[in-house]
Each structure stands twice: as C-alpha cells, then as structure tokens.
Amino acid sequence: MFYIMNTVPVVKKEDEQKYGEYQTKRVILECYDAMAEAMKTGRPYQKILDPPSAAPHVAHPEKREF
C-alpha cells in the first residue's frame, strides 16, 4: 500500500501545501486500520466519508439508453 501511495506525487505535493501533511495517505491508512480492527473484533466498520458513498446528491445522473 505504501508503494501505491508514493506513486502519486502530485497528490502528496498538493496535500502538503494545503494541509501541511500527506493527509490523503494518513486518512487511507486510518481507514485500513479501522477495517482491520473491525474484522478482528467482529464490530461493524463505520465509514468516515462525508458525504457518504453513493449519497444521492453526489451520485452521477442515471444514464439513459437511446
């Protein structure tokens, strides 16, 4: 996973300029740790996405067939 995160230098650069840290990598690793903990304990994993994934107001419009 570290390798993949380090192959996107533009995200790292922008994060460091905007947040003073590589925030994207930190948040992804925090999510990964939380998922691993949920698997270990049997508790459900709680997503931290805001807005939540697949929220209707941020979803792509339905494709129409012509």
pLDDT in tens, 13-56: 999 999 999 999 998 899 899 999 999 999 998 888 766 666 67
Rounded Cα–Cα distance for residues 27 and 46 (Å): 14
| Structural tokens at position 34 | 């939380």
pLDDT for 2 equals: 66
Rounded Cα–Cα distance for residues 33 and 37 (Å): 6
